[in-house]
Amino acid sequence: MWFFNSPEIAFGEEALSYLERLEGTRAFIVTDEVIVRLGHAARVAEVLKRGGFQVSIYDKVEPNPSLETVRSGAAAMSEFQPDWIVGLGGGSSMAAAKAMWILYEYPDMDPEGINPIEVLHLRRKARLVAIPTTSGTGSEATWIVVLTNVAERRKLGLGCRDDLPDIAIVDPSFVVGMPPRLTADTGMDALVPALEGFTCSFHNDFSDGLCLKAAELVFQYLPRAYADGNDIDARTKMHNAASIAGLGFGNSMASLAHGLGHSLGAVFHVPHGRAVGLFLPYVLEYCARGEPGSTRYQELAYHLRLPCATEVEAAAALVKAIRDLQKRLDAATTLAACGITRTDLDKGMSLLVFNTANDNQTVMSTRIPDDKDVARIFEYAFEGKSIDF
């Protein structure tokens, strides 16, 4: 048995005004300092106040939020006693909001212990709205929580089905004018889970269509949003694509590019979207050399209108399409291009391999690499060589 979960989604122009209709009295916004500086937090607070809310803003979420941040935010939440929590920002703020919400409802819980097996009953104190300010993570439409254990330089894939936001506000006005590099990095974070949600071993009929649509939208509109940050049609389509990808992979799983990307991000602080985007073509090449019949590249390529006469041809066409997209986005395609040196790689390798092997997305791959293969993938990705093993 498995489930399909979705928040209520308000999308398109003026979607933010939906907040006015929330019933409650106290709203706690979880965000970061950049979002405050951009005026987004004030804008959201304004709409909530119009709806009769008292508002508190917690703006201390850092990129790759730590367990400590989650504990401190939950403490502030307990003091304020909100009946609505608003996760406002990129994936970090939304993930932090979910984890803080869990600790607010279960003060004795260890955030590292949040897991999909144990059933939690949230919503006894508050409910959650998620408002993305980038188009990529899809966190507004998933129950996934990624936190970082800073001391151990390890990312923790946590979350439980009950921490899915009640409402997602997918309003493109938050992403108009987003800088090009952030657009490209976060945009790849919409594409990778869309493709992995479709190709991983947890794929299912309910999520397939969402993954395909999200991938199609990213290929079509990400280059436009990157080239012109004020192209409102491209922004709207990318913003929708990110949430659709979230629904898709959130009801399936991600896979090996995420296992590798989480590992790289925790060790070398490469932004999430850039890291998973970088690994995507290598992973496709690696999986294509796995057990015959294990992959679904033909079906995927068919829907993306790419050559797909055979599984091999489809895999090659997909790799080429991703490489072409990366070129148009001026994206890093090697570890060296991310500023990682040979010495860094050698020093970090055992931790990179350990992290990848222990990431819960790695086992969703149709070809699960052993430690030796993981190290070789990092080596090949360092140099930018096609996978031939």
Q: Which residues bind Zn ion (CB under 5 A)?
A: 189
Report the side by side order of strands in the sheet with 167-170: 8-11, 167-170, 127-132, 84-89, 26-30, 54-58
- In the block, tokens 């987003």 appear at 178
Q: How far is the CB of 77 from Zn ion (least distance, A)?
A: 26
Q: How far is the CB of 193 from Zn ion (least distance, A)?
A: 5
On the 0-12 / 13-18 / 19+ scale of CB atoms within 10 A, 229 is middle
Distance CA 52, CA 48 (A): 7
Q: Using the minimum distance from each CB to Zn ion, give the nearer residue, 189 or 359.
A: 189
If DSSP codes are grouped into helix, strand and coil, which group holds residue 28?
A: strand
What is the C-alpha radius of gyration for the chain, rounded to an integer number of angstroms?
Answer: 20
From residue 365, alpha-carbon distances to 255, 256, 281 in Å are 5, 5, 14
Q: How far is the CB of 261 from Zn ion (least distance, A)?
A: 7
Q: Using the minimum distance from each CB to Zn ion, give the nearer residue, 57 or 61.
A: 61
CB 87 within 8 A of CB 97: yes
Q: How far is the CB of 60 from Zn ion (least distance, A)?
A: 23
Distance CA 346, CA 315 (A): 30
Q: Using the minimum distance from each CB to Zn ion, give the nearer residue, 171 or 189.
A: 189
Q: Say which amino acid occupies 70.
A: V
Q: How far is the CB of 276 from Zn ion (least distance, A)?
A: 5
Q: How far is the CB of 356 from Zn ion (least distance, A)?
A: 15
Q: How far is the CB of 258 from Zn ion (least distance, A)?
A: 6
Q: How far is the CB of 81 from Zn ion (least distance, A)?
A: 33
Distance CA 263, CA 268 (A): 9
CB 132 within 8 A of CB 94: yes
Distance CA 261, CA 62 (A): 18
Structure token digits, residue 58:
């917690």
Ordered DSSP codes for 125-175:
S-EEEEEESSSS--GGG---EEEEETTTTEEEEE--GGGS-SEEEE-GGGT
Q: Using the minimum distance from each CB to Zn ion, give the nearer residue, 111 or 157.
A: 157
Q: Using the minimum distance from each CB to Zn ion, give the nearer residue, 213 or 272.
A: 272
Q: How far is the CB of 214 from Zn ion (least distance, A)?
A: 12
- Closest alpha carbon to 70 in 58, 81, 82: 58
Q: Using the minimum distance from each CB to Zn ion, give the nearer residue, 272 or 317.
A: 272
Residue nearest to Zn ion (CB): 189
Q: Using the minimum distance from each CB to Zn ion, give the nearer residue, 129 or 253.
A: 253
If DSSP codes are grouped into helix, strand and coil, which group holds residue 332?
A: coil
Q: Using the minimum distance from each CB to Zn ion, give the nearer residue, 312 or 363.
A: 363
Q: Using the minimum distance from each CB to Zn ion, give the nearer residue, 271 or 348.
A: 271
Distance CA 276, CA 188 (A): 8
Q: Using the minimum distance from each CB to Zn ion, give the nearer residue, 56 or 201.
A: 201
Alpha-helical (H) ranges within 10-157 are 33-37, 40-50, 67-80, 91-105
